[in-house]
Amino acid sequence: MAIYGIGTDIIQVSRVAAVMERTEGRFAQRVLGPDELAVYEARKARSEKRGLAYLCTRFSAKEAFSKAIGLGIRMPMTWRAVQTLNAPGGKPYMVASGELAQWLEARGITTQVSITDEQDYAVSFVVAETDRPADQPAAQPVR
């Protein structure tokens, strides 16, 4: 495996809280995938603070991911095309869908993600790896 790219992001929780207030909660629906949204709603129902922290870590992870793969937020990378979920033991992992999943597969890209939050900030770090040698061109998707 070789490193394809590295991305990191830090989010100020109060800024996301302000966006959530301004958008009357629609921001969460715009950036979270379906599995993330279900976890967010469950955590928010127990505690507004825990729901907000979850939203911030997932938003931060998407930003770090977009940097690691070198696309930023442009097709095929969209907010809802990648989700950060947790394995039974708690370890976070990223799952892509649709065109983004195909784009990653064509390049042999897998990721490792680390997320953390404190009262005021959420931070994410993503390493994108590839099984392709640097001099091997990326496979083109079959149409």
Instruction: Supply the CATH number for residue 27's domain.
Output: 3.90.470.20
Tell me, what's the pLDDT at 63?
96
Residue 132 — pLDDT band, cuts 50, 70, 90? confident
Query: Is residue 107 in a domain?
Result: yes
Mean pLDDT of 86-107: 96
Query: Is residue 140 in a domain?
Result: no
Tell me, what's the pLDDT at 136?
53
Domain count for the chain, please give it: 1
Residue 135 — pLDDT band, cuts 50, 70, 90? low
Query: Is residue 143 in a domain?
Result: no
Query: Is residue 142 in a domain?
Result: no
Tell me, what's the pLDDT at 133?
67
Residue 107 — pLDDT band, cuts 50, 70, 90? very high
Query: Is residue 75 in a domain?
Result: yes
Query: pTM to 2 decimals?
Result: 0.88
Tell me, what's the pLDDT at 2?
94
Query: Is residue 136 in a domain?
Result: no
Mean pLDDT of 9-20: 97
Mean pLDDT of 127-138: 74
**Backbone torsions φ then ψ of 89, nearest 5 degrees:** -80, -5
Detail the residues annotated as belonging to a binding site.
9, 63
Detail the residues annotated as belonging to a binding site for Mg(2+).
9, 63
Residue 66's nearest CA partner among 10, 5, 131 is 5
Domain that holds residue 104: 2-130
- Residues above pLDDT 70, as percent of the chain: 92
Read off the pLDDT of residues 42-78 as tens digits, 9 standing for 90 and up. 999 999 999 999 999 999 999 999 999 998 888 899 9
Contacting residues for 101 by C-beta, under 8 A, at least 6 apart: 81
Query: Is residue 6 in a domain?
Result: yes
Query: Is residue 135 in a domain?
Result: no
Q: Is the pLDDT of residue 1 over 90?
A: no
Q: Is the pLDDT of residue 33 over 60?
A: yes
